[in-house]
Amino acid sequence: METKKALPILFAVMFFVMVGFGIIIPVLPFYAEEMGATPTQLGLLMAVYSFMQLLFAPMWGRISDRIGRKPVMMIGIIGLALSFFLMAFSTQLWMLFAARIIGGFLSSANMPTVMAYVADITSEENRGKGMGIIGASVGLGFIFGPAIGGIFSEFGLHVPFLLSGVSSLLTFFFVMFVLKESLTLSGPTNEPVKKTPLLKALNGPVSILYFLQLFVSLSLAGLEATFAYFAAETAGLDTVQLGYIFMIMGFSGALVQGGLVGRLTKKFGEGPVIQLGIVISALGFGLILLVDNFLTAAIFLTIFGIGNGFIRPSVSSLLTKKSTTGHGSTTGLLSSFDSLGRIIGPPLGGFLFSIMIGLPYLAGIVLSLIAFLLYRIYQVQTRKLHAEAS
């Protein structure tokens, strides 16, 4: 009963967190330019947030294993609110950087803690469904957030930041008064393993899954950074059309994560779903090379988005089942690898695009192939380990 109540609450929490985050996305470049940011400084402003998440997500995950999910989640959300308010009242570029650094440091607590909470309250059979629901809330938040930000930016570029701050503050109080602590709900079987060294998570076959997620994130970030230029050059698409295309892709991914992932992982297990997702993603990358108008761009990017939507929830589910380092440490480390992909992906994609227009997507096929091979290696090593144990 508690699980049924908690999942919709977590869905709402992550949806509003991501709406708040998404609101500032279309506005931040113009806001930073007003303060004299060069394109390089703008890139650094974007990257510093992911860099802080790379560094600190594992730490927050471990802390949530020790003191509970709810207080760490509240730290993450209030940190997000603080960073938005600081950005709203920034008058110089260094103040924006300071706000992004503070926001990245504190809000890196959010994703790993929410995923650890889901792992605490779900049975192994329903783990994939729970992770998929969180993935869907993140996807939907990213769809609605930028649209809201674009609308409210007409009242002044600082207004979306204030709106995000208020949204995050309300989410903080929602968590404080509505959400219960999962470690007391989860019972003795899901008690975290205390004082387990974090690097232990990178021992054995399970460590391969973190690197699999890194290659998936790398390919996705490269696509996101370059597709606007690619679509403009090959199909003459403008920013409004691109907005619709990403919205369609986002809705498709959210539907897959919210509905299909849970059913498929329950029936076939996470492994086949991860492999299916990688194959569909690779197919999507190949089809993107054939984009020549709005319709083909929407269809082919959606195929990629559906494939990508299968992977992350299934990897999260499998890791929390197999890892022995506590749910928070596991999801924190996974978030860290995800962030590393988001840091390296955009400049790598841009560099490849400058060499040849379709190269980021050919590279995406190769990265997908590596991710697929990594899963097969994980499978072989796991079987070998079981054979030795028996």
- The pLDDT of residue 190: 45
CA–CA separation, 27 and 316 (whole Å) = 31
- The pLDDT of residue 4: 67
One digit per residue, the tens of pLDDT, for the chain of length 390 reads 356 688 999 999 999 999 998 899 888 888 998 999 887 888 888 889 989 999 999 999 999 999 999 999 999 999 999 999 999 999 999 999 999 999 999 999 999 999 999 999 999 999 999 999 999 999 999 888 888 988 898 898 899 999 999 999 999 999 999 999 988 644 434 444 444 555 666 778 999 999 999 999 999 999 988 998 899 899 998 878 888 898 899 899 999 999 899 999 999 999 999 999 999 999 999 999 999 999 999 999 999 999 999 999 999 999 999 887 889 999 999 999 999 999 999 999 999 999 999 999 999 999 999 999 999 999 999 999 888 877
Angle 359-389/207-235 helices, nearest 10 degrees?
160
In one-letter notation, the amino acid at residue 54 is L
Taken as a whole, the chain contains a residue count of 390
- The pLDDT of residue 189: 40
- The pLDDT of residue 96: 95
CATH number of 196-390: 1.20.1250.20
- The pLDDT of residue 340: 95
CA–CA separation, 22 and 143 (whole Å) = 8
Contacts 24+ apart (CB under 8 A), 49-52: 49/100, 49/101, 49/103, 49/104, 50/104, 50/339, 50/342, 50/343, 51/104, 51/339, 51/343, 52/100, 52/101, 52/103, 52/104, 52/105, 52/108
CATH number of 1-192: 1.20.1250.20
CA–CA separation, 168 and 85 (whole Å) = 10
Contact present, 181 and 47 (Cβ < 8 Å): no
Q: What is the 3-state secondary structure (H, E, C) of the chain?
A: CHHHHHHHHHHHHHHHHHHHHHHCCCCHHHHHHHCCCCHHHHHHHHHHHHHHHHHHHHHHHHHHHHHCHHHHHHHHHHHHHHHHHHHHCCCCHHHHHHHHHHHHHHHCCHHHHHHHHHHHHCCCCCHHHHHHHHHHHHHHHHHHHHHHHHHHHHHCCCHHHHHHHHHHHHHHHHHHHHCCCHHHHCCHHHCCCCCCCHHHHHCCCCHHHHHHHHHHHHHHHHHHHHHHHHHHHHHCCCHHHHHHHHHHHHHHHHHHHHHHHHHHHHHHCHHHHHHHHHHHHHHHHHHHCCCCCHHHHHHHHHHHHHHHHHHHHHHHHHHHHHCCCCHHHHHHHHHHHHHHHHHHHHHHHHHHHHHCCCHHHHHHHHHHHHHHHHHHHHHHHHHHHHHHHC
Contact present, 186 and 201 (Cβ < 8 Å): no
List, for residues 223-238, the tens digit of each pLDDT value.
Answer: 988 998 899 899 998 8
Q: Which residue spans of the chain are classified as CATH 1.20.1250.20?
A: 1-192, 196-390
List, for residues 157-167, the tens digit of each pLDDT value.
Answer: 899 999 999 99
Intra-chain end-to-end CA distance of the chain, in Å: 37
Angle 69-88/159-178 helices, nearest 10 degrees?
160
CA–CA separation, 274 and 310 (whole Å) = 6
Contact present, 121 and 141 (Cβ < 8 Å): no
